[in-house]
Amino acid sequence: MSETANIRVFQGNLRGRKTTTKSGGPLFSFMGIPYARPPIGALRFQPPQRPEPWAGTRDAGELASICLQIDMINREIAGQEDCLYLNVYSPQLPSGQNTLLKPVMVWIHGGGFTHGSGNPDIYGPDYLVDRDVVLVTINYRVGVLGFLSLDNKAVPGNMGLKDQVAALHWVKENIASFGGDPNNVTIFGESAGGASVHYLMLSPLSKGLFHKVIAQSGCALNPWAFSLKNTARAFQLGQILGCKTNDPAELLNFLMKKDATQLVEVSHKLIHWSENLAGIKFPFVPTLEPNLPGAFMSEHPLHSLQTGRFHKVPFMIGRTTHEGIIMLRDMKENLWSKMNANFEKQFPEKLTNISYNIPTSIIAAKIRNFYFNNKPISENSVAEYVDFQTDLSFAEGIHTTLKLSIVQSNNPVYFYVFGFDGELGFAKQFSNSNIKGTCHADELGYLFRSHLIDIDVEPSSPEMKTINRMVSLWTNFAKTGNPTPYLSEHTPVIWKPCTNENVFYLNIDKEITMEKLTDVKREGFWEEMYRSKL
């Protein structure tokens, strides 16, 4: 039976739970804490507002609702519109004025900006809290409720990213009550969470709210993480629901009266796999806002990186070896025939935008020749398809971000490639593939104790060895800004930061090795595509 634990935050008193981690260490859990007012009624589609205080003691022993979405596993509607809550997990609460505050790690979940939550069904805190850090996991608005944009002052967009900023303000004001150091905060995330922490590096709204960043398998330059078509999709959504108009005010009035569940269900139908063969294209994601006070992002992220307009803090970024395996999960039976017939439908907005004066057929021919050697694409092309998706949807943007960050920042930039293909690989268990290599999100099972992967890990297993390594590297970075400040059993090599001359990376496999990026055929192909415009 768990004990209770009481603390005070600026809104009022909280009663949490004292239990133990899987290894038996102390774990103080405070869940379902509101960090903003419920974004309901007149606050729908609006930036988050400061949370209201409460009387008495609030029970923080249970999870709050996730944000309204189509669940990514069972494909059913889940969550509520009232969802701006976070969870705090600490190894030790303050016991006096001289208590040494611990490093804080704030996790931002993935899910294509369309689904997901910060809850422990996937992101259990045990491994990280055992390494003496305070962990915060958050919910933020997703899909149409988080990223609808009318490109005007009334609905500028990016509400979900502004939710993340509000959560970081809450952390700065309150985390010391949980034993965390507000002056040593690391933000980290995977997939859309990786893109989110990268966006937070670029946004003027988040200045001073964090001190280190870890972006896993996602960045602001990935094609699925940015769009200039949100407003067009908003009007398309209105038309499907019965409001055919070109007037933003009329559309907003119409959408405000609709049930939130209906908005989510219908907007989900705007997601296309077959029409965008390069992978899933989410209809409502981060976008540019009018350059007005309170804007999260009014400059293209690539331009911000090129000009050095971002928060220069220690930065870790990386990917898995075969990110593209995730694209096989919902593969349509007729994918291969569609790819053969319509290969030119592969490409992200930025490639078609810069190549406006070049026929799409020429772009398609070059890419098809590079990945598929101009052969018919079929069920025998799965390995080539995975490489293609890995690069187009993930690696190209990550490598561009890496190189620009090295050039523009005086702080260390660390790069990794995760290649351990073990039993705790998360996403690969839900994909339709036997391809060797690590899938998008496969590293999550080695950072978090996931309740969705019910595997008893033996202490001497390669999986436990990888857990110890990953958690050591990540928490060392959170504590010091250096993932290997010293050699140890779990970190037997020094992880070198990248330089202008050499792109070093930590190869995380059954063993960890320090490598230098020399075979850049695939990375160089995309770099040349964008630089020369063919």
Q: Is 194 left (phi over 0), alpha (psi -120 to 50) or beta?
A: alpha
pLDDT given at position 277: 47
Q: Is the dihedral of CA 89, 93, 94, 99 positive or negative?
A: negative
pLDDT given at position 95: 86
| Neighbour-count burial for 473-503, b at 16+ CB within 10 Å, e otherwise | bbbbbbbebbbbeeeeebbeeebbbbeeeeb
- Annotated active-site residue in 29, 191, 217, 433: 191
pLDDT given at position 10: 97
pLDDT given at position 2: 73
Helix (H, G, I), strand (E, B) or coil at 324: helix
* Residues 6 or more apart in contact with residue 485 via CB below 8 angstroms: 476
Rounded CA separation 153/420 (Å): 47
Helix (H, G, I), strand (E, B) or coil at 346: helix
User: What phi and psi, each to the nearest 5 degrees, are found at residue 458?
Assistant: -70, 140
- Annotated active-site residue in 323, 396, 443, 523: 323
Q: Is the dihedral of CA 461, 464, 470, 475 positive or negative?
A: negative
Rounded CA separation 92/27 (Å): 7
Structure tokens at 93: 């609460």
What residue type is 149 in one-letter code? S
Rounded CA separation 137/171 (Å): 11
Under DSSP, the state recorded for 65 is P
Q: Which of 128, 123, 25, 208 is nearest to 477 (CA)?
A: 128
Q: What angle do CA 249, 253, 259 make, to 5 degrees?
A: 145
Contact between residue 209 and residue 182 where contact means Cβ atoms under 8 Å apart: no
Residue 16 forms beta bridges with which residues? 5
Residue 15 forms beta bridges with which residues? 6, 59
Rounded CA separation 383/223 (Å): 21
- Annotated active-site residue in 440, 443, 450, 523: 440
SS (H, E, C) 122-150: CCECHHHHCCCCEEEEECCCCHHHHHCCC
Tokens 């946004």, residue located? 203
pLDDT given at position 332: 60
Q: Which of 173, 116, 160, 108 is nearest to 135 (CA)?
A: 108
Catalytic residue at 440? yes
* Residues 6 or more apart in contact with residue 361 via CB below 8 angstroms: 344
Q: What angle do CA 407, 202, 503 make, to 5 degrees?
A: 30
pLDDT given at position 149: 97
- Looking only at the bridges linking them, the beta strands covering 315-320 and 212-216 are parallel
Q: What angle do CA 21, 209, 8 make, to 5 degrees?
A: 55
Longest dimension (CA), the chain: 69
Rounded CA separation 133/158 (Å): 30
- The four Cα atoms 113, 117, 123, 124 give a dihedral, to 10 degrees, of 170
Catalytic residue at 399? no
Contact between residue 387 and residue 288 where contact means Cβ atoms under 8 Å apart: no
pLDDT values of the chain reduced to their tens digit, one per residue, 534 residues = 579 999 999 999 999 999 999 999 999 999 999 999 999 999 999 999 999 999 999 999 999 999 999 987 778 999 999 999 999 999 999 987 778 999 999 999 999 999 999 999 999 999 999 999 999 999 999 999 999 999 999 999 999 999 999 999 999 999 999 999 999 999 999 999 999 999 999 999 999 999 999 999 999 999 999 999 899 999 999 999 999 999 999 999 999 999 999 999 999 888 754 344 455 578 899 999 999 999 999 999 999 999 999 999 999 999 999 999 988 876 666 677 777 877 776 666 555 554 445 666 777 788 888 999 988 888 888 899 999 999 989 999 999 999 999 999 999 999 999 999 999 987 766 665 677 899 999 999 999 998 887 788 899 999 999 999 999 999 999 999 999 999 999 999 999 999 999 999 999 999 999 999 876 778 778 777 766 543
Catalytic residue at 196? no
